[in-house]
Copies of this chain bind each other. A is one copy, B any other.
Amino acid sequence: MSATQPRVVIVGGGFGGLSAARGLAGVPVSVTLIDKRNYNLFRPMLYQVATGLLSADEIAGPLRSILSRQQNVEVLLDETGSIDTVQRLVHLKEHVVPYDFLVLATGIQYNYFGHDDWRRTAPGLESLDDADLIRGKVLLAFERAEEIAALDRSDAERVRQLLTFVLVGGGTVGVEMASTLAEMSRMALAHDFRHIDPRAARILVYEAAPRVLPAFPEVLATKARRHLESLGVKVYTNTRVTDVDAGGIVANGERIPAATVLWSAGVLASPAGQWLGAPMDKSGKVIVSPDLSVPGHPEIFAIGDTAHVVAPARNLVGMKVKEPMVMPGVAQPAIQEGKYVAALIRRRVRGQEPPRPFWYWDKGDLAIVGRTYAVADLRFVRFAGFAAWIVWAVVHIYFLIGFANRFFVILQWGISFLTKRRQVRVFPGQENAAQAP
């Protein structure tokens, strides 16, 4: 790495940041990728770690080893505190990194709509730590219910509370979690307890919008809801959760006792927009120019969930979509934006013409609603059921980072599919968890 080469700093090692870094392979720049975690996480399958089907190691790859062969990239593990756009410096905790080009790909966090104290009680599924926490919370609820049922039979209400699982938010993550919890309690755990029946667990989904999976066409959302209900999940739409505490929630003015509340209702962008003082939309995403640069800063780019991008689109089979669309908060726009920014920087460094404005290749949306049931909206065609599940499985396996992981996940799924049992149900942090009330 030569000190005289332009320095590209990428903040965030998610889909967007990693795609930008890879796109700069072979370009005469020195790239510094900064993340506060040492791994790239395959978030679409994080719910499987949270419910004990996969191990954390199987859906996360260390950034350092993913990029180890790309000689013009260095990886730093640190947290970004602020950005000095005049001196062109990224301020980390104790250090400072200068840049010539800056790519912000810092992602999102869940939106608690001003109730940040709910975060402790109702965790969202953002990182491997969250997945571990949620796995522990869910399994511990069953454990406590079993103990009370075994040793203090008078407390049936507490058992009912422990076996009630509330999902706030009926988007992709809420639906995935609900269906997996349902199948976990109906199948994997069914025969492990002596005093409770895990099949009696109540799984409740609350969605403020008129339907689950609001990003999907209504016909698929209806099918998804029906499938959820066939698994025993109760779905409440047009229902806002107005209070959350350790004992349960309040929805529609009614108190629902529940020991486990999980959050996936609405997202908020990372503070990247505040670092820059740039124009933002109402969820805090930076409103970028058609070339994904931040207005007034041709050397700074925001991508993925950090950016509010409106772009023309084509569908899977190449047909142009009528209106420019707002990029949804999924993996594909982030990956394509990262690639685009890398191409733009490459051209600028080489003194070539800038590329045409970003356009989105919209491959559609997938959501899993059961062990063998999914919904697929590929734009030119939409379908639900086992066929959609096959598409889901192939796409997700394909995008998993690293050969070994892919291989292991297929095996793990195969075994779990055949045995209808989950193999992985241990969880860390039990010493502390056991001491909680």
Q: Which residues from chain A sit less than 8 Å from chain B, CB to CB?
A: 1, 32, 36-39, 55-58, 60-62, 64-65, 68-69, 74-79, 93, 95-97, 127-129, 132, 139-140, 143-144, 146-147, 150-152, 191-195, 402, 404-405, 407-408, 411-412, 415, 421, 423-431, 434-435
Contact = CB atoms under 8 A, between A and B. Distances in A.
Nearest to A433: B77
Nearest to A143: B77
Given A38-B143, A38-B426, A65-B421, A97 B151 contact: yes
A128 B428 CA distance: 6
27 contacts: A32-B150, A37-B430, A39-B426, A55-B55, A56-B428, A57-B426, A60-B426, A64-B192, A74-B146, A74-B194, A76-B147, A76-B151, A77-B140, A77-B143, A77-B144, A77-B430, A79-B435, A95-B147, A128-B426, A129-B428, A129-B429, A129-B431, A132-B428, A404-B412, A407-B411, A408-B408, A411-B411
Nearest to A188: B65
Report how many copies the assembly holds.
Answer: 2
Given A69-B191, A408-B412, 8 more contacts: A37-B431, A55-B56, A76-B150, A95-B152, A96-B151, A129-B428, A129-B429, A411-B411
A127 B431 contact: yes
Contacts of A429: 129
A172 B194 CA distance: 39
B411 A423 contact: no
A405 B423 contact: yes
Given A65-B421, A65-B425, A434 B79 contact: yes
A95 B64 CA distance: 48
B38 A430 contact: yes
A287 to B, nearest CB: 29
A134 B140 CA distance: 24
Nearest to A424: B57
A146 B56 contact: no
